[in-house]
Structure 1
Amino acid sequence: MDEKPQICSPYARRVPRSVSDQVAVEERVDNVRIGAACFHGASAAVERMRLWDNGRVLRVRFLDGDPVVQSRVEAIAMEWEQVANLSLTFGRDRDAEIRVSFAEEGFSWSAVGTDALTTDARQATMNFGWLYENTGMREYQRVVRHEFGHALGMIHEHQSPAAGGVIPWDRPKVYAYYAGQGWSPEDVDHNIFELYSEDSTNHTTYDPASIMQYAIPDSLTIGSFAIAGNTELSPMDRQFMGRQYPRGGPGLRELVVNGDAIKADLALSGEVDTYHFTVTEPGTYVMETTGPSDTVLLLHGPSDRGAVLAFDRDRGLGRNERIVRTLLPGEYWLSVRHSDPDAIGTYAVSLQTR
């Protein structure tokens, strides 16, 4: 095979779920959400993402490597700024969130989103193990776009919940092929066959053109099924990441107890607005939305963005939301999104004592 069917090494550091979840929600409140389809059921599905705060400046530092190779990686990585509302700043900052190495030859990998914050500041969060001065530009584009997709929070497309049953893997051949590259059966399961659960990630319908999709040669599947090594971000990649990091997004806003309602709009499908407020006196508080949009309201806290205290859909007037809770002193957060992930609209949110 001329082209590597894998992109990521199985040796990227695996972070304990509890640690990873906590770091993620400290970065961004809506890294914990309630699945919209669950509001009519007995329980809620909690989605846990690894997204950076919208509008974040991410510092990138090269730990080693050839300057020519570094410059090519930087140029391709910067393309993500045109897709997501994030800034990548390359420099020598010792506190850089993304730290790139070329030391592990033959292996390329990246931490997923905020998992990079769980790595010791002296260690790499990303590695490019087969990029050299004489490497072709197609391979640079394929690998750099893919690994920086991981760094911004994207998962492997072939491991998306939507990929279940789509790829007719010939499992014995897959195990044998990757064994030849030093992968154990557990490595293959973790990086190829295991699908993320519905409650662990944002995802779209399966997209074989995604930059996050591994190349799949026909020799590793049953029947006639193959996917070439994608080098470009697909239209769905661009749309999806634009939703996760919307331009003009308001970021975290302060909500004042007994203050005026804040008028806002969900200008992009999939957008989530987040609000912070502080309770100084114990009591009963009323959080509600008004307006024409059918929104979903979540309350997080106290003093823990990852704890979902309450959620509501349609307990307010019309299609609006209303949460009434006795709250103790502490910090709290509200997140608001449209009940239809493809819809947009206006609303207002308020916080009053009862």
Structure 2
Amino acid sequence: MAKTSKAASSSVAGSEAPALRYCSQPIQHPRQFDPAVDALRSRAILAGGKKWVNGTQLAFCCYKGNDAVPASWKGKASDIEEVRQAFRKWFDLGIGISFKELARPEDATIRIGFDPAGGSWSYVGRDNLNIRDPFQRTMNFGWALDTPYGRDTALHEIGHALGLEHEHQNPFAGIAWDSDAVRRYFQGPPNNWDTQTIDWNILRKISPAEVKGTNWDPNSVMEYAFGPGLIVEPAAYRAGLQPRGGLSAADKAWIVESYPGAGPANVVPTLEVGLSQKLAIKAGETRVFDFTPRRTRTYSIATFGSADTLMVLFEVRTAGNVQIAGDDDSGTDRNAKIDMRLISGRRYQIGIRLYYAQMAAETAVMVW
């Protein structure tokens, strides 16, 4: 859940109005690194580990109709339309990834349910790839989306799918909680959360490596609205926190920085067989390369240099990019490599996100 409308702003702790339901993120186990991976390197990997590679087309499917899932998961037409509109608002910022709605859940990366009993939640970024079962949700909406509060909820959950965490858990926010008051409030109706869920979604501070910047944005679509008596510091929010609604300026800046769109400064270079090209990007950045093979055969595509990278191979089709292979070498002493049979005359793209490099100027990619 992101935030309330003005009409609902009294529906929080300490109010006589009905309490709000909030986004309840699935609890995930933090990634563990080999002791040989130093702190600077692991921090860099965590900072970009959940972000997608530019050029990705995220396929989503809303459960409906004859899908073989519980009836409660299936969405109403009005809610499904709000989901479409929320995806469009993120995409219309001019980002370097796209979205496509598919009819079959088995073809989609993001599978969306509408179970009122399940609350609202989404897996974060590339964590969605760990949920392989086509009849297992990666996102759920637990209340109507055709209200100001619901529309912000849709933007919020899609923000998670893009790699954004809860803003109030930003370690730079300086929030000190009245922990007992927080637990009493969220253990009560309508959320009825257990202690683990409260700690994970409210009280836990996200690692500095995983947040979008060094400043807290209380107006982010990823921020909860809180009533009086929950926040001790900053003092300005002891009486409650009420974000403005919609995507904030910082939300827009983060998404464009993380997924820069096409433009004069983002020309896609072409790879030639046997010729390496420098990545020429900083940690956390992505670069995309074109490749059109002249012969049908098995090709090797690999990175070079002491670097941690995520490399994804897409086939470029009229309907959008389709991921056909990928390799993530982060935290290991090897380079990302893909071996695949490619078809003469077809167009492919290689997207690479650099997590960390000992010498960024010495990292490169080559196809042979």
When normalised by structure 2's length, the TM-score is: 0.64
Give the secondary structure class of the aligned counterpart of 2:116.
coil
Residues 253-268 of structure 1 aligned to structure 2 (within 5 Å): 259=275, 261=277
Secondary structure in structure 2 of the residue aligned to 1:45: helix
Equivalent position of 1:77 in the other structure: 87
Alignment partner, residue 178 of structure 1: 186
Partner-residue secondary structure (3-state), 2:307: strand
1:91/1:175 Cα in 2 relative to 1: closer, same or farther (>3 Å)?
A: same
Q: Are the structure 2 counterparts of residues 60 and 230 from structure 1 closer, same or farther at C-alpha, using a change threshold of 3 Å? A: farther
Alignment of 1:195-234 (within 5 A): 195-222=205-232, 223-225=235-237, 226-234=240-248
Deviation at 1:85, TM superposition (A): 2.1
**Equivalent-residue separation in structure 2 for 1:219 and 1:145 (angstroms):** 27
1:123 aligns with 2:133: no
Assess if the C-alpha contact under 8 Å between 2:54 and 2:286 holds in 1: no
Change (3 A) 1:100 1:230: farther
Shift of 1:334: 7.7
Q: Paired residue for 1:57? A: 57
Q: Determine if contact 2:186/2:198 at 8 Å carries over to the other structure.
A: yes
> Structure 1 329/242 Cα, relative in aligned 2: closer, same or farther at 3 Å?
closer
Q: Given the superposition, is the C-alpha separation of residues 261 and 98 from structure 1 closer, same or farther in structure 2, using an over 3 Å criterion?
A: closer
CA contact (8 A) 2:308 2:335 kept: no
* Matching of residues 231-246 of structure 1 within 5 Å: 231-246=245-260
Relative to structure 1, is the Cα distance of residues 239 and 255 closer, same or farther in structure 2, using a 3 angstrom cutoff?
farther
Would you say 1:191 and 2:206 are equivalent positions?
A: no
1:97 aligns with 2:97: no
How far 1:103 sits from its partner (Å)? 1.5
Per-residue deviation, 1:192: 0.4
1:113·1:150 contact (CA, 8 Å) conserved in 2?
yes
Q: Which region of structure 1 is more displaced relative to structure 2, 140-149 or 76-85?
A: 76-85
Counterpart of 1:88? Answer: 99
1: CA distance, partners of 2:337 / 2:283: 32
The amino acid that maps onto 2:43 is A
% same residue: 25
> Structure 1: which amino acid aligns with 2:24?
S
Deviation at 1:34, TM superposition (A): 9.1
- Contact 1:98–1:126, Cα closer than 8 Å, also in 2: yes
Deviation at 1:186, TM superposition (A): 1.8
Q: Distance in 1 between matches of 2:31 and 2:166?
A: 21
Give CA-to-partner distance per residue, 1:280-332, whole Å, 9 cap, x none. Answer: 9xxxx985xxxxxxxxx72559995233457xxxxxxxxxxxxxxxx899659
The change in CA–CA distance for 1:122 and 1:251 in structure 2 (over 3 A counts) is farther
In structure 2, distance between residues paired with 1:328 and 1:157: 34
Amino acid at match of 2:125: G
Query: What letter matches 1:100 in structure 2?
Result: I
1:156 and 2:166 are equivalent in the alignment: yes
Letter in 2 for 1:86: I
- With over 3 angstroms needed to count, the CA separation of the structure-2 counterparts of 1:175 and 1:142, relative to structure 1, is same
Does 1:110 pair with 2:143? no
CA-based RMSD: 4.2
Would you say the 8 A contact 1:59–1:93 is kept in 2? no
Task: Flag as ranges the 4+ runs of structure 1 deviating above 4 A.
Answer: 3-6, 15-19, 249-257, 274-280, 299-304, 327-339, 346-352
* 1:130 counterpart letter in structure 2: W
Which residue identity does 1:240 align to in structure 2? W
Task: Tell me the distance in 2 between the aligned counterparts of 1:217 and 1:255.
Answer: 59
Q: In the alignment, residue 91 of structure 1 is paired with which amino acid?
A: L
Evaluate the alpha carbon distance shift between residue 159 and residue 347 of structure 1 in structure 2; reply closer, same or farther with a 3 A threshold: same
Is 1:307 equivalent to 2:319 in the alignment?
no
CA contact (8 A) 2:284 2:353 kept: no
Check 1:105–1:260 CA distance in 2 against 1; reply closer, same or farther (3 A cut).
closer
Unaligned runs of 5+ in 1: 22-32, 288-296, 311-326, 340-345
Displacement of 1:9 after TM fit? 2.2
Give me the whole-angstrom Cα distance separating, in 1, the residues matched to 2:152 and 2:352: 39
Task: Give the aligned partner of residue 66 of structure 2.
Answer: none
* Cα gap change, 1:252 to 1:173, in 2 (>3 Å): farther
Residue 201 of structure 2 aligns to a residue whose secondary structure is: helix
Equivalent position SS for 2:224: coil
Q: Which has the higher contact order (CA 8 A, sep 6+)?
A: 2
